[in-house]
Amino acid sequence: MQQAIVISGFGGQGTLFAGMVLAYAGMDHGKHVTWIPSYGPEMRGGTANATVIVRDEEIGSPVVRYPDAAVVLNNPSMEKYEPLIKAGGVLVANISLVSAPSHRPDITCVPVPASDVATQLGDVRVANMVALGALAKATKILPVEAIVQALQDHLPERKRYLLEPNRQAVQEGAQIAERGEWASQRISE
């Protein structure tokens, strides 16, 4: 069993970090994991994405053409990855910023107003964790608790003060995905 996840957004939206948390969670959960970044030369503002693979056995390629799921935090990421998701796969879209609709009837769309939720939680920077929580719930790639645990175990010391908002964000995202209150309507509608 292998799941390849792409997490993509603007530089600064924490996509690489969200991928890392997912990879840590997978590793601590006894899975094989790879995490690979891809980003433009700009340090700030460019699009940044991470591909994370979680697999029961040894992982071959750390890159895939067609991910099993994608988390898109902005419009360019939506444009790039929505068409590439495998049939039957999952799209988690940050509808606070993603305006473009999905035209894929063959994938599960999980619209999450991640940036708005994060702002309500007091820090827009945790939008990535809202989306990650939704991803975990929607794909069942790992238990949501595993994500929370990974945050607790691996958040660097200097960022410890962000643990609580991050934790809340993951859980909030998971709940949104579970309630499916946004999923009942297509993103375009």
Partner 1 sequence: MAKELLVGNVAIAEAAIRAGVEAFFGYPITPQTELLEHMAGRMPELGRVFLQAESEVAAINMVYGAACAGARVMTSSSGPGISLMQEGLSYIAISEVPVVVVDVMRGGPGLGNIQPAQGDYNQVTKTAGHGDSRSIVLAPSSVQEAADLTGLAFDLAEKYRTIVIVAGDGMIGQMMEPAELPPMKSLPATRPDWAVTGAKGRLKNVITSVFLDAEVMEAINWRLKAKLDRIQAEEVRCELTLVDDAEILIVAFGSAARITKTAIREAREQGIRAGMLRPITLLPFPSTAIEELLDRVQTVLVVEMNTGQMVDDVRLAVQGRAPVHLYGRPGGSVPVPDEILDVIMSLRA
Q: Contact positions toward partner 1, by CB under 8 A?
A: 20, 23-24, 27, 32-37, 41, 59-66, 154
Cβ(107)–Cβ(43) below 8 Å: no
Beta strand ranges found along the chain (DSSP E): 2-10, 32-39, 47-55, 69-72, 90-94, 108-112
Nearest to partner 1 of 60, 105 (CB atom): 60
For residue 47, the minimal CB distance to partner 1 (Å) is 15
Nearest to partner 1 of 34, 175 (CB atom): 34
For residue 55, the minimal CB distance to partner 1 (Å) is 10
For residue 43, the minimal CB distance to partner 1 (Å) is 11
Cα 93 to chain centroid, rounded: 9
Tokens of residue 45, six digits:
């503002």
Nearest to partner 1 of 23, 118 (CB atom): 23
Residue 55, classed as helix, strand or coil, is: strand
